[in-house]
A = this chain, B = another copy of it.
Amino acid sequence: MKVRVLYSGGQDSSLSAVLLEPFFDVELVTCSFGSASWRHAGRAAEAIGFPFRVLKLSPEVMEGCIDLMLKYGYPRYGINYVHLKALEAAAKGGGYVADGTRRDDHSPALTMAEVKSLEMRLDVQYIRPLAGYGRHAIDALVKQHFEIVEGPAIEKSDYESEIRSSIIEKYGKETVSRLFPQEHPQSRVMRRLQK
């Protein structure tokens, strides 16, 4: 059974792939709006030994995302929207799609209604391998399986960096600072410790 895992090169989506590996044929998929930031994920995918593919998301998805962020004044609904569109893109062809969202994540997070709708509309099964794991359990598994680099300035391939750049271009730096007041810590996987 083949599963396409939305992949950023960070610890969560990497761990998600490793948890699925004994049971599925895993393919890592990174969505991109056209910039080269997917290369960070590509290098991490190579480092942990999974096949990797880039999926292009349309400019309309970017516009819809920024529209939601400006409307609400914070990133949550925009990020959720892009994540849902990325899952839909990865789900083309049916089968299984997965991501690295955690039990304790608030965003991106699909509602149960969105999950059921995704699964029915696209005849796909959506798997969240980390949904049943809390923070400490994830930290322990990550430590066991990966060498990572962490910090606010680590570049990985989540759509956030492309979205920020696009907002700066159209609305200026102040708007980005207002929408994203906090930098959250990033991680990128450098090496796999066990296989």
Contacts and interface: CB of A to CB of B under 8 A. Distances in A.
B134 A115 contact: yes
10 cross-chain pairs, A with B, having the tightest CB-CB distances, nearest first = A128-B132, A131-B132, A125-B137, A131-B131, A22-B22, A125-B136, A129-B132, A127-B132, A125-B134, A127-B133
Interface residues of A, number: 24
Contact of A131 (B22, B98, B128): B128
Nearest to A139: B125
A139 to B, nearest CB: 10
Nearest to A16: B132
Count the copies: 2
Contacts of A136: 119, 125
A62 interface: no
A130 interface: yes
A1 B140 contact: yes
A21 to B, nearest CB: 8
Interface of A is mostly: mixed
A126 B103 CA distance: 11
Interface of A: 1, 19, 22-23, 96, 98, 103, 115, 119, 125-134, 136-137, 140-141, 144
Contacts of A137: 96, 125, 127
Given A19-B19, A19-B23, A127-B134, 6 more contacts: A23-B141, A23-B144, A115-B134, A125-B137, A125-B140, A130-B132
Nearest to A19: B23
A133 B132 CA distance: 10
A67 B98 CA distance: 41
A144 B134 CA distance: 28
Nearest to A104: B112
